[in-house]
Amino acid sequence: MSDAIKHECGIALIRLRKPYQYYIDKYGTALYGANKLYLLMEKQVNRGQDGAGIANIKLDVPAGHRYISRYRSVDQRPVTDIFEKVNKKFRKALKGNKDKAKDAKWLQENIAFTGEVWMGHLRYGTHGANEIENCHPMLRQSNWRSRNLVVAGNFNMTNVEELFNKLVSLGQHPKDKVDTVTVMEKIGHFLDEENQRVFERFKGIYENPDLSDIIEDNIDLQRVLHRSCRDFDGGYAMVGMTGSGAAFVARDPAGIRPAYYYADDEVVVVASEKPAIKTAFNVDYSAIQEVKPGHALIVDKYGEYMEQEFVKPIEKKSCSFERIYFSRATDPDIYNERKTLGKLLIPQILEEIDYDLENTVFSYIPNTAETAFFGMVEGLEDYLAKQRKKAIMDGILFEEELDRVLSFRPRIEKLVAKDVKLRTFIADDSQRDDMVSHVYDTTFEVIKKGKDNVVVVDDSIVRGTTLEKSILRMLDRLGPKKIIIVSSAPQIRFPDCYGIDMSKFKEFIGFRAALELLRDRGQEDLLEEVYGQCVAAIESGNASKQNYVKAIFEPFTHDELSRKVAEIVTPADLKAEVAVIYQTVENLHKACPNHSGDWYFTGDYPTPGGNNVVNKAFVNFMEGKLVRAY
């Protein structure tokens, strides 16, 4: 993605189902759980580089010994930083105690991070400062094991204000009005109530300390999650642990955020992406299951697990950006979907170059668009195969012409390479843009000047800034007749409120194109009309019922918006003609049939809170407010 955006975070959970000594004996190390969590997190580091955190819970250690451990980091390489600290703890504790290195009981009583339940989190901060306090896991402590709660999540809630007010009405005094705090405290409140309910049920039958064990055995986490999450509006995949060693992973009712799990007789594992589980535990993809929307994978203190519904599932709208860009393409399904996205663009590309393949060079913007580029090349080969067949069937008799048709191949070059070492540190605005234009390197002398078309694939075009300031200028130096920028994603028109850092209308090149078209056609009154509708809906409490901003795009076709985007991003002094091609929403759904969440392209939000956010975001735009709408 040439316009970098922050996006959805990553989660990981490991439950060792056998005694700690088993893993030491079988795998020869007391760090089996830590090593596996490290792999799970490193293989998902694409999901969050602002910070990371881990937590670990020991089962059944004697009173007076620490049983919950947590590290968080906002270091430049936070995952490495955390696990280096864990390893340092082991080395320090075993210095002079080498004979205890494989004694599970001694290790658990003397060294942190020797527990059976592990949690990991990778943070991409869509808002808030990049500080340690904003890193998950979040910890809610108590002297009662079963009341301790550790939570991490890949989530954004659209109704934080409502959730905050509910906590206040319960008598709480939350320290901050953010979804991280409200989610933690909401679940914590109902976990406390569940503890009290079980206590009332068994008091008089059992005496302390036995009563504490009975409470831990009878906590109903499904009930806790139902009572906590039934009024959540947002996308979420949350992982939680109680101090007694029970754990859960809860997924939102529309399945917006991803969560996958694998279980055998040794472990239960959860991650945001399948390849992380595949790599860390070397299991077949077919053995990795998706946590169903509205369900929680619940693991009790004994390691038994079950997937249970905690809120009523609604129509599944899994995030399609996961497939286009966010998740790793090493997942075979995602790899094939991205190739299909590239292949489906062929008819539009051929039309734009007037079918002149002989004078067209194809390339891509590294590195995330590479897979879509492979699919586009396959599509070109399919087209050429049909053309060869047609030529033969039509009876081309001249050997020279037949040789040309049979031997022709599309011209493919790596025109763009990103120079990751270059830093645009210059403060002077007039010089900074020139520096930005050199972040990418180009391959010279492969373009026939004034004659060739250049087709470059990107996976999405969000703001268009990098196109205008860098990529188009760079490609223009090669001397092409025409530059065609191809996006494997459709036009981004609406904000995201479920985790992607795309919350303001003014940032979207697709929205800017609609504004300019309205001005060109003298239809600017539509902006005031929609603004009035949004304000009235917000004031009446009905903003969640309809996305009024869709009307801004209704006067224009897909192609009209694409042409206007091309105009906007083309620098005035550019010599080459510029065109922009976007994927269609219809083809997106063909390529990714099981991930139909497309609200950023269509405005069809999967929850009422989405409509509320988009209407507020438009009001903010019209009033010049540079704030998030949720």
pLDDT digits (tens, 9 = 90+) for 258-303: 999 999 999 999 999 999 999 999 999 999 999 999 999 999 999 9
Share of the chain above pLDDT 90, in %: 74
CA distance 120 to 575: 51
Residue 431 has pLDDT above 50, yes or no: no
Which residue in the block uniquely carries the two structure tokens 């992406």? Answer: 273
Question: Which comes out higher in pLDDT, residue 104 or 3?
Answer: 104
Residue 228 has pLDDT above 70, yes or no: yes
* pLDDT computed for residue 318 by the predictor: 97
* pLDDT computed for residue 499 by the predictor: 83
Residues 168 and 279 in one domain: yes
Q: Is the peptide bond before 367 cis (omega within 30 degrees of 0)?
A: yes
Domain boundary among 290, 316, 342: 316
Q: What is the mean pLDDT of residues 398-408?
A: 73
In this prediction, residue 415 has a pLDDT band, given cuts at 50, 70 and 90, of confident
In this prediction, residue 432 has a pLDDT band, given cuts at 50, 70 and 90, of very low
CA distance 488 to 260: 26
Which stretch of 75-79, 424-428, 550-554 has the lowest confidence by average pLDDT? 424-428
* Contact call for residues 591 and 337 (beta carbons, < 8 A): yes
Residue 24 has pLDDT above 50, yes or no: yes
For residue 179, tell me if it sits in a domain. Answer: yes
CA distance 369 to 329: 10
For residue 2, tell me if it sits in a domain. Answer: no
Residues 421 and 549 in one domain: yes
Share of the chain above pLDDT 70, in %: 92
* pLDDT computed for residue 553 by the predictor: 98
Question: Which comes out higher in pLDDT, residue 517 or 174?
Answer: 517
Is the four-CA dihedral 500, 416, 367, 489 of positive or negative sign? positive
Q: Is the peptide bond before 209 cis (omega within 30 degrees of 0)?
A: yes
What's the structural domain count of the chain? 2
Q: At what angle do helices 179-202 and 221-229 cross, to 10 degrees?
A: 140
Residue 2 has pLDDT above 70, yes or no: no
Domain boundary among 273, 299, 316: 316
Residues 304 and 326 in one domain: no
Which residue in the block uniquely carries the two structure tokens 């760090």? Answer: 31
* pLDDT computed for residue 590 by the predictor: 98
Domain boundary among 259, 291, 316: 316
**Three-point CA angle 596, 333, 598, nearest 5°:** 15
* pLDDT computed for residue 4 by the predictor: 58
Residues 148 and 237 in one domain: yes
Q: Residue 627: how many CA atoms within 13 Å on its side-chain side?
A: 7
Take residue 130 and report the two structure tokens written for it: 């990049």
CA distance 44 to 8: 11
* pLDDT computed for residue 258 by the predictor: 96
* pLDDT computed for residue 430 by the predictor: 47
Q: Where are the alpha helices (DSSP H) in 71-229?
A: 78-94, 104-110, 160-169, 179-202, 210-218, 221-229
Check which CATH number belongs to the domain holding 166 and give it.
Answer: 3.60.20.10
* pLDDT computed for residue 421 by the predictor: 45
CA distance 447 to 12: 47
Question: Which comes out higher in pLDDT, residue 234 or 160?
Answer: 234
Domain that holds residue 491: 322-623
Q: What is the mean pLDDT of residues 181-208?
A: 93
Residues 509 and 605 in one domain: yes
pLDDT tens per residue across span 350-372 = 999 999 999 999 999 877 799 99
Query: Which residues share a beta bridge with 577?
Result: 482
CA distance 600 to 471: 24
A 10 A CB-CB count for 463 gives: 20
Q: Edge to edge, what strands does the sheet with 51-57 contain?
A: 68-73, 51-57, 117-123, 10-16, 267-271, 260-263, 289-290
* pLDDT computed for residue 440 by the predictor: 60
Take residue 458 and report the two structure tokens written for it: 């990107």
Residues 282 and 339 in one domain: no
Residue 538 has pLDDT above 60, yes or no: yes
Residue 465 has pLDDT above 90, yes or no: no
Mean pLDDT taken over the chain? 91
CA distance 467 to 477: 14
Residue 425 has pLDDT above 50, yes or no: no
Residues 288 and 348 in one domain: no
Q: What is the mean pLDDT of residues 528-550?
A: 97
Which amino acid is it at 570?
T
CA distance 237 to 136: 13
pLDDT tens per residue across span 595-620 = 999 999 999 999 999 999 999 999 99
Residues 304 and 365 in one domain: no
Q: At what angle do helices 32-42 and 78-94 cross, to 10 degrees?
A: 170
pLDDT tens per residue across span 476-486 = 999 999 999 99
Residues 228 and 342 in one domain: no
* pLDDT computed for residue 426 by the predictor: 38
* Contact call for residues 56 and 117 (beta carbons, < 8 A): yes
Is the four-CA dihedral 106, 107, 109, 110 of positive or negative sign? positive
Helices (H) and strands (E) in the chain, counts: 23, 20
* pLDDT computed for residue 35 by the predictor: 97
Which amino acid is it at 70?
R
Residues 276 and 420 in one domain: no
Which amino acid is it at 65?
H
Check which CATH number belongs to the domain holding 488 and give it.
Answer: 3.40.50.2020
pLDDT tens per residue across span 42-64 = 999 989 888 999 999 999 888 88
In this prediction, residue 397 has a pLDDT band, given cuts at 50, 70 and 90, of low
For residue 55, tell me if it sits in a domain. Answer: yes
A 10 A CB-CB count for 406 gives: 12
Residues 524 and 551 in one domain: yes
Residues 296 and 445 in one domain: no
